[in-house]
Every structure is written in structure tokens, then in C-alpha cells.
Amino acid sequence: FIATECKILNAGKGILFLDEIDANLSGKEAMSIAKVLEELSKFYQIFAISHLPQLSSKAHNHFLVEKNGEESKVKKLDQEERIKELARMVSGELVSDEAIEFAKTLFKN
């Protein structure tokens, strides 16, 4: 709906902040949201917080935010780091070879 309205209004001169837009969604639903965000990114700068690899894999840039006690760190990930992070999102802290292959597939598509 938002994407349709933005196209109609041609109001693409702003920034969208989306916090956990993929909460309670399946992987298939997250891919649909990713397609909508890709379309919106033609008109807007989008900052999206996501915990699903399906959505994160489609971002133009991927930042990892880590909190350690009172301190938070933000790091822009390169391609190799993105694949590792996507694999971690799939399988948890113990990253399997299968998760890495899945992450590579997500990243390529």
C-alpha cells in the first residue's frame, strides 16, 4: 500500500525509517516486503532494521549493530562479512556450511 501511494504522489524526496518491518513474517513474506522496499528505494533513502536474512540480503548496504553493556558499535559490512552475517542470522552463533551456502544464494539473488 505504501509503495503504491508513494508512486501516485511521487513524493520520493525523503527518508523512511522502518523498525523491524519483518516482525512475525515468514521468509516468503519477507521477500515480498523486500521487493516493495526495493521499489521504494528508487524514491526514498530507506533505513530498515531487520532480523531476517531474506530482507537483509536485498539491502544496498548492510550495517551490523552490536551492543556490549552500555556501548554500541555500528559497522558497515563488506560482501564477505555480509554473507557471514546472513549465515549467522539463519543458523545462530554456530554457523553451518549449509547456512553459508544459503546466505550466498540469498545474496546473489
Cα separation, 37 vs 57, in Å, equals: 12
Residue in 34, 75, 66 with CA at minimum distance from that of residue 53: 34
Q: What pLDDT score does 38 carry?
A: 87
Mean pLDDT by 10 residues, the chain (109 residues): 57 81 84 87 90 89 93 96 94 92 89
Helix (H, G, I), strand (E, B) or coil at 42: coil
Distance between CA atoms of residues 10 and 6, nearest Å: 5
CA dist list (Å): 36 to 33, 41, 62, 77: 5, 9, 18, 23
At residue 21, the pLDDT reads 85
pLDDT at 14: 84
Model confidence, pTM: 0.77
Q: Which residues sit opposite 82 in a β-bridge?
A: none
- Phi/psi at 24 (5° precision): 65, 25
The Cβ of residue 59 has, within 10 Å, a number of other Cβ atoms equal to 18
Segments making up each domain of the chain, as ranges? 1-60
Determine the pLDDT at residue 7.
58
pLDDT value for 95? 93
